[in-house]
Amino acid sequence: MCKDMDACCCCIPLKTGTIIILVLNLVGYAVSFATSMGNAIAITWACLGVLVSILALVGVVQNNRTLLMIYFWWVLIAMLLFIGVAITTIVAFGVACAATYDAAHQTVDMQTGAITNTGNADERAQWASACALIPTIAFGIAAAIYLPLEIHFMCVVRSYAHSLSPDTVSTWL
């Protein structure tokens, strides 16, 4: 997944790059916490992110490989969760759009109360697909920016962590 690097962004020393990455993450999580508007999941995620970023900064100061690798695994989990949330949101949009189509294409017999679906199955599928295209494009753009940056960041931190104790480096990651 990650090859060991000698520098961050081709010219910044690994330790400096790691500190910059961790400070930016710390600021990002702090801003996320401040703007979470009472959302318990967002507050929890931001608090965990602040904690992991602080631990990793302590790892840089103390040359502690374990604390730095905690950050590596945190970022990996965050990326997997991002992908999971994207897929779930896209599917939910498609289901909601199909339900909206169904609701718009139903008639109710006022005497019997029977509901008749007047929609076309092909039109319904096209409507749901077109409607789900909105979050697909949004998540696609976000993923095209977010995932490569996060992969680079986690590889920089991993490379720096591995440079601290080369005799204990596992080669499977």
Assess if residue 2 is contained within a domain.
Answer: no
The pLDDT of residue 171? 46
Q: Give the separation between CA 39 and CA 37, rounded to whole angstroms.
A: 6
How many domains are contained in the chain? 1
pTM (2 d.p.): 0.74
Find the angle CA(70)-CA(16)-CA(163) to the nearest 5 degrees: 55
Q: Smallest Cα–Cα separation from 153: which of 35, 49, 42?
A: 49
The pLDDT of residue 1? 60
Q: Say how many CA atoms lie within 13 Å of 42 toward its Cβ.
A: 11
The pLDDT of residue 80? 92
Average pLDDT, the chain: 81
Q: What does the buried/exposed string (b/e) look like for 43-70 if buried means 16 or more CB atoms within 10 Å of the residue's CB?
A: eebbeebbebbebbbebbeeebbebbbb
Secondary structure of residue 50 in the 3-state scheme: helix
Range of the domain at 138: 7-168
Assess if residue 155 is contained within a domain.
Answer: yes
Q: Give the separation between CA 103 and CA 127, rounded to whole angstroms.
A: 13
Give the chain's residues under pLDDT 50: 169-173
The pLDDT of residue 97? 77
Assess if residue 1 is contained within a domain.
Answer: no
Beta carbons within 8 Å of 162's beta carbon, 6+ residues apart:
4, 65, 169
The amino acid sitting at 61 is V
The 10s digit of each residue's pLDDT in 43-76 is: 998 899 999 999 999 988 888 888 888 999 999 9
